[in-house]
Structures are given as C-alpha cells and as structure tokens.
Amino acid sequence: MVGSRTLTALVGIVGSLALSVLLYAYTDSLLFFLFVPFIPFLFARRDEGTNRPPIRECSRCEFTTRNPEFEYCPRDGSRLYERTDN
C-alpha cells in the first residue's frame, strides 16, 4: 500500500512533468526546466516552523530535545532550559 506522502509526491511529479510538456509544446523552449525543481517552494507553508515545540537543552551537557515530555536531562538529571536562539 502506498502512503499519503508517497502518493502526494507521485502526483506532484506527474503534474510537474505534464506541465513541463505543455509549456515545452507552447513555447518550444527548455528554459523552464530550470525552474521545475523550485515549484515545491512556491507552495510551501510560510509558518511551518512556528508550531514546532521549542528546543530545550541541558546546561551541563550537550543534550537537546524538542520533546515536551522531557523536563530533566536523561544523562545527568539537571533541569532542561529553552534555547533562546532556536
């Protein structure tokens, strides 16, 4: 069974190739092929990184996590603090 992400990627590739063929037939130019890899950036969500949990880190060792269930470092037991430079 094909997952939803794989299906979305396949539809995107087929759509991109179909659009490429149509543009080539209409313009007789291969220049647009340079821009095809950038199409996903046009439809990317701008706020994608804002709803991720903040990075929490240990002040004694280099342990970092985004998992909100961790309040203390699993290595030395010290309290984790939010990193300010996410």
Q: What is the pLDDT of residues 38-71, one digit of tens each?
A: 666 666 665 555 677 888 999 888 899 999 898 9
Average pLDDT over residues 1-25: 80
Asked whether the predicted pLDDT for residue 12 surpasses 60, the reply is yes
pTM for the model:
0.40
Could you write out the DSSP letters of every residue in 48-85?
TTTTSPPPEEESSS--EE--TT--B-TTT-PBEEE-TT
- And the tokens for 29? 């130019």
